[in-house]
Each structure stands twice: as structure tokens, then as C-alpha cells.
Amino acid sequence: MPPALTHHFSAAEVDDLKQTFSTYDSDSDGVLSLEECRQVVNTFAGRNCGDYEIQSLLRLFDADANGTMDLDEFLKFNYAVRTGFFDRPVSLKDAFVMANRSRTGKLTHRELRHLLKTNESYSKEQVKNILSTLDTRLVSYPQFIRLVNRLEKEL
Ligand SMILES: [Ca+2]
Ligand SMILES: [Ca+2]
């Protein structure tokens, strides 16, 4: 385990978390699948999260991008929860990373549309209009922030 992580947790806590991890790993293959993550996320969030939210969370913590959460990633997730991940609104940076399925650091229009649609205060028309103003195929984080600012101004 990387020292950075063991630093956050005591040895006893890591043992506990390993135990917790194995209880969620219902098929005991050593990783948490999307379905297994659903149990974890719902338990930690204290509510039933939607599919998109579960997928987004998995993507956010799936550091090696293999579609499952291993123990190391699970510890990072736990650290995030402990430091108030579910107590604060998801930051724009988190949202951007979550939406970036391709992990290129830039969003496709499809990824961007999907992301903007998760904010219920934006109407379909607004999202459509703002997307039609884009002159690039891929949207970087600074461009994304400018778009969001424009949308917020319209509200
Ligand atoms: Ca599993
Ligand atoms: Ca992974």
C-alpha cells in the first residue's frame, strides 16, 4: 500500500477497512464491481443514489480506470468520505473528472451534455443552446467553467 494512504489510517483502521471491503465484495474476487459499489455508496451516503451518481463516483475513485474499485481505491474513497465528501456539494472539478469517461482531460459534447443534464436547474433548451455555441469538439476545464458561469448568469 502506498505510504500516503497508510498515513491517513492507523493499522487497526486499515484492518477494519479491509474487513469492510470484503463484506461488500460479495463474489470475493478482490475488487468491487459497479453493483457491489452501489451497496457501498448507498451505505456511506445514507441514501439510495441513482445509477449515474454511482457510476460517476466509481469513475472518480477508479484511479486505474479498470471499471472496478480495488482495496487501494476503496481506502481513498473512505478517506474522502471521512473528510466530508458527502457533506459538501460536489465541486465543479469533481464533476468534470466524473463526467470525463474518456479520461482525456477534455469533455466530448456528449459527456458535457450528460453532465449539464445532471443539474436540474438547467433547462434542456439552455443546455442545447450553450452546446451549440461551442466551436471546439472537446471542452477543456477552463472552457467548462466559462460555460457554467454563462449558464448560471442566465438563471
Ligand atoms: Ca467483487
Ligand atoms: Ca480500479
**CATH at 55:** 1.10.238.10
Instruction: Give distance in angstroms: CA of 25 to centre of ligand 2.
Output: 13
Q: Does residue 1 lie within any of the structural domains?
A: no
| CA gap 32, 39 in Å, rounded | 10
pTM attached to this predicted model: 0.63
Q: Does residue 2 lie within any of the structural domains?
A: no
Choose among 98, 103, 142: nearest CA to 116.
98
**Tens of each residue's pLDDT in the chain, 155 residues:** 444 555 688 999 999 999 999 999 999 999 999 999 999 989 988 888 888 788 888 888 888 889 999 999 999 899 888 887 777 666 788 888 888 877 889 999 998 998 888 777 788 899 999 899 998 999 999 999 888 888 888 77
For the record, the C-alpha cell of 147 comes out as 460555460
DSSP secondary structure letters along 84-124: TGGGSPPPHHHHHHHH-TT-SSSEEHHHHHHHHHTSTTS-H
Q: Does residue 105 lie within any of the structural domains?
A: yes
Choose among 132, 147, 133, 135: nearest CA to 99.
147
CB atoms under 10 Å from CB of 132, counted, come to: 8
Within this chain, do residues 47 and 65 fall inside the same structural domain, yes or no?
Answer: yes
Within this chain, do residues 67 and 109 fall inside the same structural domain, yes or no?
Answer: no
Instruction: Give distance in angstroms: CA of 145 to centre of ligand 1.
Output: 36
Within this chain, do residues 26 and 66 fall inside the same structural domain, yes or no?
Answer: yes
Instruction: Give distance in angstroms: CA of 30 to centre of ligand 2.
Output: 11
Within this chain, do residues 83 and 14 fall inside the same structural domain, yes or no?
Answer: yes
Within this chain, do residues 33 and 69 fall inside the same structural domain, yes or no?
Answer: yes
Containing structural domain, residue 106: 92-154
* Number of compact structural domains in the chain: 2
